[in-house]
Amino acid sequence: MSNIVAIVGRPNVGKSTLFNRLIQRREAIVDAVSGVTRDRHYGRSDWNGQEFSVIDTGGYVVGSDDIFEQEIDKQVELAIDEADAIIFIVDVETGITGMDEDVAQLLRQTEKPVLLAVNKVDNSKREADAVEFYALGLGEYYTISSINGSGTGELLDALVEVLPEKEKEEEDELPRFAVVGRPNAGKSSFINALIGEDRYIVTDIAGTTRDSIDTRYNRFGFEFNLVDTAGIRRKAKVKEDLEFYSVMRSVRAIEHCDICLLLVDATRGFEGQDQNIFWLAERNRKGIVILVNKWDLVEKDTQTTKEFEKRIRKNMEPFTDVPIIFISVLNKQRIFKAIETAVEVYKNRSKRVPTRKLNEVMLPIIEHTPPPSNKGKYIKVKFCTQLPTPMPQFAFFANLPQYIKEPYRRFVENKLRDHFGFHGVPIDVYFRKK
């Protein structure tokens, strides 16, 4: 499993901006208003060849200072409990605040590596002002400007030096199907129903499953590892913030699986946390099957299934080519259909399209509907091939690839899906210079 790095600190010090800088994309909302980060954000980063997961531990609520202090204590305790290393970010403009001192006091008690990042240091005067942060008792600090990136290289150099070495796990060549989802969606019950025994403790209290466990499973003549990734533990000291653990376990599981079976509680709908996990799987380029569990508890008419599916697909845009199966683990309805579909998605993810066949199909389509001209320059695509990667990735060679925009890339992706059937699998399409 890869290391986890948590970014902690009080509101409005630049956590989300640093997060975006580390993962090199803008996914977190960045705003000058305290409390704007309503959800935690998760991403993958690497530095000097070392990969790790990054968490922006936002999740603050707008309210009094007392509420902020309670939330910050909770966030830091969660980070200490779950992360392998912690970046504590403070603001040189405001100097040391009472909340900074509270966070520092918690961090001084952990044996995990803590890196103190003094943000908004973009001139020599502020460099001198940063000296006061020695008073937090966390040792050396790193001056950075998360907006323009200065100093982040030195911070990352120090970070990868202190990340613990993970023991190499024995390679298992079997495909891994991870059962993911928010607390109490029925993940362990689903696996129990499949294997026909109560291998996992199943209760109505979210947070029973402590760690992910693999079960070797054979169905439809196909053998694979079925992974229960609930991985939520109840601890008084972290005030039972189960959503945090749910997603963190899902992060780890998704990174190391081939197919994600995302269980959704039909009585709650496809909520924000479900969407977070879905996009984690999509960004990691995993095959995805959505299982709407507890369908037996929903009052239905002839349009209920269609409307429910429509709402889910709306929230999945633009990647909507994902199988959605309505199941009842309790009544064992369609649970084997779920596995059969997951096997099909795995085969789709492993599918290879011969280069000759690919060109025979795609080049006439592109010739009939070429990329829009740009400033009087016409783009011609002359050749395409599938790249030798574990997931479907295609390279299209053109004379002016830099002028091809995202809508045309999606058009090509949709045509690949129409003709070669990559149901449930993210596709990468690259345009390169011929």
Q: Is 372 labelled a binding residue?
A: no
Instruction: Give the CA distances from residue 312 to residues 12, 27, 177, 296, in Å, rounded to whole numbers and listed in that order.
Output: 33, 21, 22, 18
**At a CB cut-off of 8 Å and minimum separation 6, what does 415 contact?**
362, 365
9 is annotated as contributing to ligand binding: yes
Annotated binding residue 296: yes
Q: What is the pLDDT of residue 30?
A: 43
228 assigned binding-site residue: yes
**DSSP per residue, 62-106:** SS-HHHHHHHHHHHHHHHHHH-SEEEEEEETTT---HHHHHHHHH
**Of 246, 261, 280, 371, nearest in space to 322 by CA:** 261
Classify 413 as helix, strand or coil: helix
* 139 labelled ligand-binding: no
- Could you tell me how many residues make up the chain? 434
pLDDT band for position 308 (cuts 50, 70, 90): very high
Judge whether 382 is annotated as a binding position: no
Assessment of whether the complete model's pTM goes beyond 0.75: no
53 is in an annotated binding site: no
What is the arithmetic mean of pLDDT over 277-283? 86
Cβ atoms of 116 and 88 within 8 Å: the answer is: yes
- Please indicate if the annotation marks 162 as binding a ligand: no
Q: Would you say residue 123 has pLDDT above 70?
A: yes
Q: Is residue 188 annotated as involved in ligand binding?
A: yes
> Would you say 424 is a known binding-site residue?
no
Amino acid, single-letter form, for residue 303: Q
Query: Angle at CA 121, nearest 5°, toward 38 and 72?
Result: 30
In this prediction, residue 209 has a pLDDT band, given cuts at 50, 70 and 90, of very low
Hey, what are 380's tokens?
A: 């011609």
Q: Strands, DSSP E only, in 190-281?
A: 213-219, 222-228, 259-265
User: According to the model, what pLDDT value does residue 243 have?
Assistant: 54
What DSSP letter does each residue of 166-204 carry, written as one string?
PPPPPP--S-EEEEEESTTSSHHHHHHHHHTS--S---S
Cβ neighbours for 278, distance < 8 A, ≥ 6 positions apart? 262, 288, 290, 316
295 marked as part of a ligand binding site: yes
Burial of 199 (0-12, 13-18, 19+ CB in 10 A): middle
Strand, coil or helix: 43: strand
Q: Is 57 annotated as a binding residue?
A: yes
pLDDT tens track for 345-392: 999 999 999 999 999 999 999 999 988 888 788 889 999 999 999 889
The answer to whether 185 is a known ligand-binding residue is yes
Query: pLDDT tens, 180-196?
Result: 887 778 888 888 888 77
Q: What's the pLDDT tens digit per position in 415-432?
A: 999 999 899 999 999 999
* 13 annotated as ligand-binding: yes
Q: Binding site annotation covers 198?
A: no
Instruction: Please check whether residue 364 is in contact with residue 370, taking contact to mean a CB–CB distance below 8 angstroms.
Output: no
The tokens of 361 are what?
Answer: 């199909």
